[in-house]
Structure 1
């Protein structure tokens, strides 16, 4: 995208400098004469100046002219010579130039480096960390668009389409019949004028073009326009021009928004009159790229005015009538980034815009942000083939037919910027969440506090969570529909399992049940507690010594602890409610300690038994308390020894 629509701010490196010996090159650069500037900086490099500043400017001269091969050449040398000891913005530009030449693997690496070094207030830092969405995710987005290059495209710049009645208005650098020789030094192309053409019956091509308006076209740039719902008012972008170009204190000519009214005579001849500047224009910053809401009440536009988050932001004003408007309002960091947000197009369903600050495929990509009660949702990249590794922008659409137009300077076009028609086949709505329950393989009981790791089909860890008391879990990560994932489940005393699955399509839940089995059949989980389950340990009446039948059961614990040498347990003994509380507590405590002594006597280290405590009748597992009539079998349930696993 090599024309005035990039807004004058973009003519400058964020880290400008001045060296007297390169005054000529700097002068070209500051005037946005990038082709001449590049030649001058390259001549300096050929003469042996590999300074950081010259390499930066050489790369910038190509970067701002959207020549990513040239930008990559000098940014690559810059990074090779100075490593990461360059301004963080150059890591961002280097990553973009890598995307521009198709090296997405290297681009991903440098995006992450940029993310690590970016200012914490820079929204691009989080987006380019690729923790939520990666380049691979964007590359793998399902294709929704079929594109066709329009017949009206030339070898020069053609872009900025907009519907006008049943025709298409757009901007072109093709020479008009009046101004044959004037060239815009940014890209050595003629200045832009607005043309209009006939849309064919299938809305896939445009023919029979002519000049849109003799009243609106000047000897400088006119581009990117919008109409009121009744199409009687036009809003359009033009150089700050009042008989001659108006420049700011630094010699920069900015862009402004203008409006005009439709005049139609009895013969159907259309003209535009009463051209006026919008009141929030300025000689000190640029305003351009308008789009009007379907109800005609709001005007969205792009500017680098004070209050901008990044290089260029999208703003909105209320249209109050009689060329009066509310104060411009920035759409905020959900939409705008430290990069460029450009070419908004608003419908009653969504805001479409181009950006290089949100993660994309390279250069400017087209994003969609749904309208939600006056707010905008997180922008979504519309993917290839609508987007490419170069600049893709100027998206407009008829939401009823899902047909529209988009602009791109991709290499498969006819020249510089081309306009493409498209047909969109919307993909099925995908709003899935991954849920499930973790249970024991043998008993079917729920397992709490199991660690669950969601892993992508490429093996990337996406999220970790824990099952709740009911064994249930839900991942916050929003998966792609019909895509492969797997869940790794881990829990102390259980075999780790990996469960592969594919997400459902549409809206709803993808339920993935997880079954865990303990590492040994003697190990069970009860109420979220891991225990060793052996037969009942019997003691003689009022005694605590270990009988032979009890020893045979305790030997199972000894064997298990030998099998798992890191296992640590604690012993808890309990009685029924008969006899006094003091007696029961003392008896159970003697039995717990006797049990520990036996296990230690079988060559198990004493420190592997964390504690051995008797709780008497304080932890009954049924209703058989004092004064309650219970059978012997019911009392027997309370006379138990428990072996609780602390770690393994």
Structure 2
């Protein structure tokens, strides 16, 4: 009889007296008396299987309906083994007749019996059929996660089944002073036991438990409050920070069960205050409904922020994303209410699609560090799993499954924790329990230290315009503005830093070289062990500045001289040299060397003397135009000693080939 009675708390009591169906099983199902309904559906299905060899269209439709109802009767009671029996028949025999919801439930039933590989396949099928209509497919396949990833999570919890558990449903633990309050279906009455036919158990009340010295076990003390407990369900509660006010979940009951137009009795949130009576004994009094309750939907499962300003709860109210969502309201002073309809509270706000899914999000518990909750819409191991969503600047991070053994193949929920002590309680209906839902204490182990992840940064530097790799570039690595290491690029423009860096971290790399504009690049190292390659492109400070064979030069047009002459011609040579004057004026720290070369024609000595005169004439012209003499390191002729092609003495060459050797070069030595 492994069922999750707690799920009924948001499905609520349903008393449908409509006579729309003549079948007793349907009446029981509509009243959520699932155990009795399941037995009748099984009998009808067996009769169909025995007496019919083939179906007409009406019989086929009825068979499909019965298989759905039988599977649902067990699924809603979290009896995944029996749910799987009927969903398997449904999917195997009537695949074309079923909607995606039953693929989803079939996959969950497979998880519930440990068939994760098959479940994964059917989850993919569910995703493919619902990707534009149902966000559970997105949540169940987030960032490429698989069930295997969840199973591989390092175990962090040591669980113990507490003594207070019974054969009935025990769940919903909450700290109260140095004790524990919890809900139980144990029958403590002295009169005829009242049975809730969903699961054939007594109705829920809240009890007070004594914690042992190490907070790992609980023993029953008494009812929590006779004023709060009624003939129907009370469960899941939360206290204000000073523990003088309690919020709790109850059937819509004010002496009589109140129902909506369909006969459904929904859940509501109530508050009570701790007030001293005539004998100075503190008792819970002044029980009130919260103003955002409704006759038409359920509200329950409260949790309060540590500052007492926010109340989180679960509801299927209009605006819900899925079957049940987590909402939050601000707890206000009555005279500061935003709307008289919600006196004392803001309007409810849905926590949004990062937390809520098209499935069920339930049993929230908020701390300063995280929001913990149960869900079957995020990727889990079957039924409800417990998830953690970190609090980041008042926002919630993508939820993480807390893994085994906290989560199991069945329902795991009602997680509470003392963050400082790393101790807490969780509820589960796993098969190893004492009865139905059981309370487990746990010790939370520290998060395992991640294996060190190391990164090295390497790369290359090239000319942005030409693509040529650049050597002798000074490379610097920075973290948060502090220099970590410097190095130089090699002959092929490559560089590598030797400092071992962290993975997924931000750094800055800079490239500087004389004659080039400095370049800086922000780098995020890779998330996995290895190297991060950072390529940088740099450009010279001016289009006249070029680098040839590792040497910076000023590149202007050809400086023409008259035959055997060395004076600067005004109509052409001066125009080109004026470009150098302008460039050196723009960069007042620039220092150059002047080299003049001839072709191989005429004698060697003559060419050497002629080129030297031309180099010095060029220097004198630049000085005459205002360039300081100390900014010209040298002006020297090299004649035909540095030919750049094959045209040496005695070699026949064209005029254009000889022209290549008649050149003036302006080499930058400083900037």
Contact 2:503 2:529 in 1 (8 A): no
1:363 aligns with 2:383: yes
Deviation at 1:268, TM superposition (A): 6.8
Q: Deviations over 1:492-523 (max 9, x none)?
A: xxxxxxxxxxxxxxx996540389xxxxxxxx
Q: What does residue range 1-16 of structure 1 map to in structure 2 within 5 Å? A: 1-9=3-11
Q: Deviations over 1:153-211 (max 9, x none)?
A: 00110000001111100000000124542000000000000000111110101114311
- Residue aligning to 2:366: 346
- Residue aligning to 2:530: 512
- Residue aligning to 2:150: 138
- Residue aligning to 2:405: 385
Deviation at 1:438, TM superposition (A): 7.2
Residue 177 of structure 2 is aligned with which of 153, 159, 165?
A: 165
Contact 2:455 2:532 in 1 (8 A): no
- Residue aligning to 1:26: 26
Deviation at 1:310, TM superposition (A): 0.1
Change (3 A) 1:79 1:577: same
Q: CA RMSD in A?
A: 3.8
List gaps (5 residues or longer) in structure 2.
49-58, 335-342, 461-468, 471-492, 497-501, 505-524, 538-554, 560-593, 598-613, 616-636, 647-656, 658-671
- Residue aligning to 1:425: 445
Q: Distance in 2 between matches of 1:412 and 1:72?
A: 20
Q: Distance in 1 between matches of 2:256 and 2:159?
A: 40
Q: What does residue range 118-517 of structure 1 map to in structure 2 within 5 Å? A: 118-129=130-141, 131-265=143-277, 269-322=281-334, 324-428=344-448, 510-513=528-531
Deviation at 1:224, TM superposition (A): 0.4
- Residue aligning to 2:541: none
Q: Deviations over 1:204-254 (max 9, x none)?
A: 011143111110111100000001111111100000112111111111111
Q: Distance in 2 between matches of 1:151 and 1:116?
A: 46
Deviation at 1:19, TM superposition (A): 11
Say which SS state the counterpart of residue 324 (structure 1) adopts: coil
Q: What does residue range 573-584 of structure 1 map to in structure 2 within 5 Å? A: none
Q: Distance in 1 between matches of 2:203 and 2:503?
A: 47
Change (3 A) 1:20 1:425: same
User: TM-score by structure 1 length?
Assistant: 0.67
Q: Distance in 1 between matches of 2:557 and 2:644?
A: 9
Q: How many residues matched?
A: 480
Say which SS state the counterpart of residue 83 (structure 1) adopts: helix
Change (3 A) 1:305 1:512: same
Deviation at 1:270, TM superposition (A): 3.4
Q: Distance in 2 between matches of 1:149 and 1:249?
A: 42
Change (3 A) 1:305 1:179: farther
Q: Deviations over 1:406-460 (max 9, x none)?
A: 00000011010000000001214659888666779xxxx99xxxxxxxxxxxxxx
Change (3 A) 1:324 1:439: closer
Contact 1:290 1:344 in 2 (8 A): yes
Q: Please tell me whether Structure 1 or Structure 2 has the larger radius of gyration of its CA atoms.
A: 2
Contact 1:9 1:311 in 2 (8 A): no
Residue 73 of structure 1 is aligned with which of 85, 90, 107?
A: 85
Q: Distance in 2 between matches of 1:186 and 1:67?
A: 13
Q: Distance in 1 between matches of 2:451 and 2:289?
A: 45
Deviation at 1:269, TM superposition (A): 3.6
Deviation at 1:354, TM superposition (A): 0.3
Deviation at 1:118, TM superposition (A): 1.2
- Residue aligning to 1:93: 105
Q: Distance in 2 between matches of 1:252 and 1:279?
A: 20
User: TM-score by structure 2 length?
Assistant: 0.65
Contact 1:10 1:311 in 2 (8 A): no
Contact 1:393 1:406 in 2 (8 A): yes
Change (3 A) 1:360 1:222: same
